[in-house]
């Protein structure tokens, strides 16, 4: 089967040939004909299987065939993504696939110049790839109009709705025409998320190329049981493996990602961190150095890792197991992409064993146990000693404690404690004839003068 036999036009086939693509993946083979017919679609496929091309290619063809002129500030196709990196990646692919179509492509997401976003949208955009927050800001400022949307796409739909985006999505959907094509694509689609998707889709067809939540067959998965305090030494030993081309290391928190980078540096291993607290420039530099091979280790949180589509990621290391089992599927899917194989290694402390059990239940497979290296205690002590000598005392691992609400501060009875209290007190003083703007009390000349202001 070729892309031409799926019904794609010659300019798209030519663009694919220029990128070296000749045979569609299963998700592309099943999704493209449905999308070309204009129907709604719920597509479920593991990450790295070509979901982006599955919705971008037929959408470009439909937009070109409709031959509509986009009006200033208006958009014809909207693709929503949960992270900046994923939005940027989708836009880059859309430009590549549509290089012979003359369609305009733009991105809007946080961390970039909103003035640049306004400029990009001013003449109108055929394909806009956006994160929900920045898009809503631009719409409310009158800089973006969604009333001409012909195609709506949610990529990583489970994450879009499962990570607190549901209210923003509903708000956006209310702004766009009811008569549209809607496409959902995701690596996982739990029942609860499928129910939410039913609110956005009309009589959709479902394409599932693999059982939901299963992990890529080409990824060799291992778990090593280790004390929390020994994880850093174990990570150092793993990353010293000369067979590693690029390694993506996952932590649960932004603080944890920064800490891992610092400690690796103390052992002579260069690494960068990518997470939500990093500026867009920092994130782009970190990802660029990882792609170029300048640093072979990138430490990431789950949210920031969406959109990291880097060929040659040979290893994924779960420094901390995710407390949401579906995240494990997304994490290890960063390796074994484009037909390659990969290795996923998980470090599991005693308090993380329930997370491992949930992961094995969701993926429906046992993770093979890899024992600690021989003489691990001695090696660990050597690594710690070398690091302490290089950067000083080792910071203690951060405990994952439940958040507690702070105790309320005692409120003074003789003074207002909030802006509203100050405002009320000020009005009260004016009403009693105090030195407010009125100056002379209720009914006095000063009150009239104050009101006139």
CATH for 4-208, options being 3.40.50.300, 1.20.1250.20, 3.90.1150.10, 1.10.760.10: 3.40.50.300
Stated pTM of the model? 0.65
User: Does residue 363 have a pLDDT over 70?
Assistant: yes
CA dist., res. 436 & res. 453, Å (int): 12
User: Does residue 212 have a pLDDT over 60?
Assistant: no
Average pLDDT value over all residues in the chain = 82
Q: What is the pLDDT of residue 234?
A: 95
The residue among 284 and 352 whose pLDDT is bigger is 352
Backbone angles phi, psi at 253, to 5 degrees: -125, 160
Alpha helices in 319-375 (DSSP H): 325-332, 353-363
In Å, how far are 47, 192, 252 from 195, measured between CA atoms?
A: 22, 5, 28
User: Does residue 374 have a pLDDT over 80?
Assistant: yes
User: Does residue 436 have a pLDDT over 60?
Assistant: no
Task: Please report which confidence band the pLDDT of residue 422 belongs to, taking 50, 70 and 90 as the band edges.
Answer: very low
In Å, how far are 251, 260, 273, 375, 383 from 297, measured between CA atoms?
A: 13, 11, 9, 25, 18
- The pair of three-digit structure tokens given for residue 229, joined into one six-digit string: 């305090």
| Percent of the chain at pLDDT exceeding 90 | 49
The mean per-residue pLDDT over the stretch 202-225 comes to 79
Kindly state the DSSP code that residue 309 receives in the 8-state scheme.
Answer: -
In which element (H, E) is residue 205 found? strand 205-208
Domains 4-208 and 219-391 share a fold: yes
The residue among 435 and 277 whose pLDDT is bigger is 277
Range of 47-56, 91-100, 302-311, 410-419 with top mean pLDDT: 91-100
Range of 95-99, 424-428, 429-433 with top mean pLDDT: 95-99
Q: What is the pLDDT of residue 19?
A: 86
Kindly state the DSSP code that residue 290 receives in the 8-state scheme.
Answer: H
**Of 40-49, 391-400, 420-429, minimum mean pLDDT range:** 420-429
In Å, how far are 22, 52, 67, 145, 448 from 96, measured between CA atoms?
A: 15, 12, 20, 25, 67
Contact status, residue 68 vs residue 76, Cβ threshold 8 Å: yes
User: Does residue 438 have a pLDDT over 60?
Assistant: no
CA dist., res. 238 & res. 247, Å (int): 10
Smallest Cα–Cα separation from 366: which of 219, 222, 216, 188? 222
Was domain 219-391 assigned CATH 3.40.50.300? Answer: yes
Task: Please report which confidence band the pLDDT of residue 125 belongs to, taking 50, 70 and 90 as the band edges.
Answer: very high
Task: Please report which confidence band the pLDDT of residue 75 belongs to, taking 50, 70 and 90 as the band edges.
Answer: very high
The mean per-residue pLDDT over the stretch 401-429 comes to 43
In Å, how far are 40, 307, 363 from 207, measured between CA atoms?
A: 11, 22, 19
Task: Please report which confidence band the pLDDT of residue 435 belongs to, taking 50, 70 and 90 as the band edges.
Answer: very low
CA dihedral 76, 81, 86, 88 (to 10 degrees): 30
CA dist., res. 133 & res. 137, Å (int): 6
Q: In the sheet where 313-318 sits, what is the strand order? A: 272-274, 297-300, 246-250, 313-318, 342-348, 219-225, 368-369
Domain ranges of the chain: 4-208, 219-391
Task: Please report which confidence band the pLDDT of residue 162 belongs to, taking 50, 70 and 90 as the band edges.
Answer: low
Kindly state the DSSP code that residue 423 receives in the 8-state scheme.
Answer: H
Tokens 């996923």 belong to residue: 344
Q: What is the pLDDT of residue 138?
A: 95
CA dist., res. 70 & res. 61, Å (int): 16
CA dist., res. 267 & res. 426, Å (int): 60
Q: What is the pLDDT of residue 163?
A: 61
CA dist., res. 357 & res. 368, Å (int): 13
The mean per-residue pLDDT over the stretch 305-327 comes to 81
Q: What is the pLDDT of residue 389?
A: 67
- The pair of three-digit structure tokens given for residue 150, joined into one six-digit string: 């012909």
- The pair of three-digit structure tokens given for residue 105, joined into one six-digit string: 């492509």
Q: How many CA atoms lie within 13 A of 72 on its CB side?
A: 6
In which element (H, E) is residue 182 found? strand 181-186
Q: What is the pLDDT of residue 41?
A: 95
């Amino acid at each position: 089967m070729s892309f031409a036999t799926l019904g794609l036009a010659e300019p798209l086939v030519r663009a694919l040939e220029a990128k070296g693509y000749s045979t569609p993946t299963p998700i592309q083979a099943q999704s493209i004909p449905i999308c070309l017919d204009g129907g709604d679609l719920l597509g479920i496929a593991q990450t790295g299987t070509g979901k982006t091309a599955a919705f971008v290619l037929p959408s470009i063809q439909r937009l070109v065939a409709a031959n509509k002129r986009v009006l200033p500030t208006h958009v014809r196709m909207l693709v929503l993504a949960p992270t900046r990196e994923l939005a940027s990646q989708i836009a880059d692919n859309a430009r590549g696939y549509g290089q012979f179509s003359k369609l305009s492509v733009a991105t809007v997401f946080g961390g970039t110049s909103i003035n640049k976003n306004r400029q990009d949208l001013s003449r109108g955009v055929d394909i806009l790839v956006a994160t929900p927050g920045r898009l809503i800001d631009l719409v409310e400022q009158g800089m973006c109009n969604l009333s001409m949307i012909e195609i709506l796409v949610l990529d990583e739909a489970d994450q879009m709705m499962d990570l607190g985006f549901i209210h923003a999505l509903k708000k956006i959907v209310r702004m766009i025409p009811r008569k549209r094509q809607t496409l959902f694509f995701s690596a996982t689609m739990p029942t609860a998320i499928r129910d939410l998707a039913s609110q956005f889709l009309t009589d959709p067809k479902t394409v599932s190329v693999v059982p939901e939540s299963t992990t890529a067959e080409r990824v060799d998965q291992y778990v090593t049981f280790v004390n929390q305090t020994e994880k850093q030494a174990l990570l150092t030993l793993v990353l010293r493996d000369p067979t590693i081309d690029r390694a993506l290391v996952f932590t649960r928190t932004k603080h944890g990602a920064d800490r891992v980078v610092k400690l690796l540096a103390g052992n002579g291993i260069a690494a960068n961190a990518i997470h939500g607290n990093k500026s867009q420039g920092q994130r782009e530099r970190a990802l660029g150095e990882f792609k170029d091979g300048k640093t072979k280790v990138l430490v990431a949180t789950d949210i920031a890792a969406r959109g990291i589509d880097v060929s040659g990621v040979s290893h994924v290391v779960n420094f901390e197991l995710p407390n949401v089992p579906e995240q494990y599927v997304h994490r290890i899917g960063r390796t074994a992409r484009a037909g390659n194989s990969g290795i996923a290694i998980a470090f599991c402390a005693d308090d993380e064993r329930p997370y491992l059990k949930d992961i094995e239940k969701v993926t429906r497979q046992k993770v093979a146990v890899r024992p600690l290296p021989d003489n691990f205690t001695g090696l660990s002590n050597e690594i710690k000693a070398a690091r302490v000598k290089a950067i000083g005392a080792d910071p203690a691992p951060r405990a994952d404690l439940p958040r507690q609400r702070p105790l309320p501060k005692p409120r003074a009875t003789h003074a207002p404690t909030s802006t509203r209290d100050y405002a009320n007190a000020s009005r009260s003083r004016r009403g009693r004839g105090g030195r407010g703007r009125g100056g002379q009390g209720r009914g006095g000349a000063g009150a009239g003068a104050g009101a006139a202001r």
